[in-house]
Structures are given as C-alpha cells and as structure tokens.
A and B are shown apart, each in its own frame.
Chain A
C-alpha cells in the first residue's frame, strides 16, 4: 500500500539551529501539507502546497518556515532558526485531490511524523 514517508523520525537540535524535515508523499498525489502536533495538543495546520506553490498557510507558518519541492518526489519543511516552542511532532500529508468544497473525500494520508526536540 502506498504510504507517505518522513525522515528523520526524531531530531534533537539546539535553539537557533536550522532544521530540514523531509517527506516523500504518495507518488500520484498532487496536494501536500505539513501539520504539527505539540505533545498533548491538537493537530495544527501549517501549510498546503499545490502546483509548486503554497496554496494556504497558517499564522504559525511565519518567516522562519519554508517549504520546497526540490525534485519530483521530496517535499521539505525548513525551520530557519528553531525556538523551544517549535518542539513538536511534524506530520507531512498528501492527498489526491484538494480539500475545499463539499465533494472531497477528506482523506489526508499522513506520514508517521518527525519528532523535533529543540533544546
């Protein structure tokens, strides 16, 4: 069964360091997302990406964050200068179709997540 894969599974970094989280979405999907979940809290939307550009981003996704699809398979999230409050599980997800409107299946396929710990 096709799946979304993420690396690394766990990364520990010092505050102020740059971090890149990598994701390989399902190959025939066109929409890509990053969500995060701080321990004990809800899953929060960060950004959606379609047709090589950001289609939507949340307030969390400030100038410290960026996404890229450097080739035909990878989708990366970069945090330029990590803060303590960036410690969270970061989930990459993909979908075959967009999620707007009433006719979507709502199925996001999530990767297993990358746990980021900022010290």
Chain B
C-alpha cells in the first residue's frame, strides 16, 4: 500500500463551484498533515496545515480523520487561479525528519 494515496484526477470544476477530494495515508504514526500546491513544472508550496479539529483558510477547508486515516481538502467558490495539482503531505510522526508526498490531485477550474 502506498504511504500517501490520492485520486490523480483531473477534477474539472466550473468557476465558482465547490470541489472536494481526499487523500489516504498508511502510517498510523503520522502526526502532521499538510496540503501543498504545485503549479505545472513549478516547485511545491505549502497551502495549509491540517489540524485534528479541521481548519479553514479563506475558501479552503481541510479535515483530518485519524480513525480512517484520511484527510480532505475542500475549495469553495473556485477561481481560475486555483487550477493546480494539490499534494497531500504527511510526516512520519516522531521518527524521521522527512515529509512524504502523495502523487497529487489535479484540479482544472474552467470559466
């Protein structure tokens, strides 16, 4: 089983609509969870951390379900500029100084 698994998409989203997608992780010891954004042929950039109680950052909402080992990202009122690949990222808990990236979910927002 992959450490971090995502639906590759693409999710084709009309501008202004809401889109949501999940990611599952296999390591129950993971303690920190993040969504990164990667534009085509660019470097990944941190979008937001994911907290146990769920959290919002503007139009973005992240949720964590530890029991089922998945995290989710919801984007409201999609903008054309939200078109990107969204990378689910987890650490390995107390052991190891690295982040593990999922393969990414591609989102295409269309007018």
Contacts and interface: CB of A to CB of B under 8 A. Distances in A.
Say whether A and B bind each other: yes
Interface of A: 31, 33, 35, 41-45, 48, 50, 55-56, 58, 89, 91, 98-102, 104-108, 110-113
Interface string B71-98: 0000000000000000101011111111
Interface residues of B, number: 28
21 contacts: A45-B100, A50-B97, A56-B97, A56-B98, A91-B43, A98-B97, A99-B91, A99-B96, A99-B98, A99-B99, A100-B94, A100-B95, A102-B31, A106-B32, A106-B49, A106-B91, A107-B46, A108-B99, A111-B43, A112-B42, A113-B42
A101 B43 contact: no
Q: Chain A interface secondary structure, helix, strand, loop or mixed?
A: loop
Contacts of A104: 32, 91
- Which secondary structure dominates chain B's binding surface? loop
B44 interface: yes
Contact of B94 (A56, A91, A101): A101
Contacts of B44: 43, 91, 108, 110
Interface of B: 31-34, 38, 41-46, 49, 87, 89, 91-104
A100 B91 contact: yes
B70 to A, nearest CB: 17
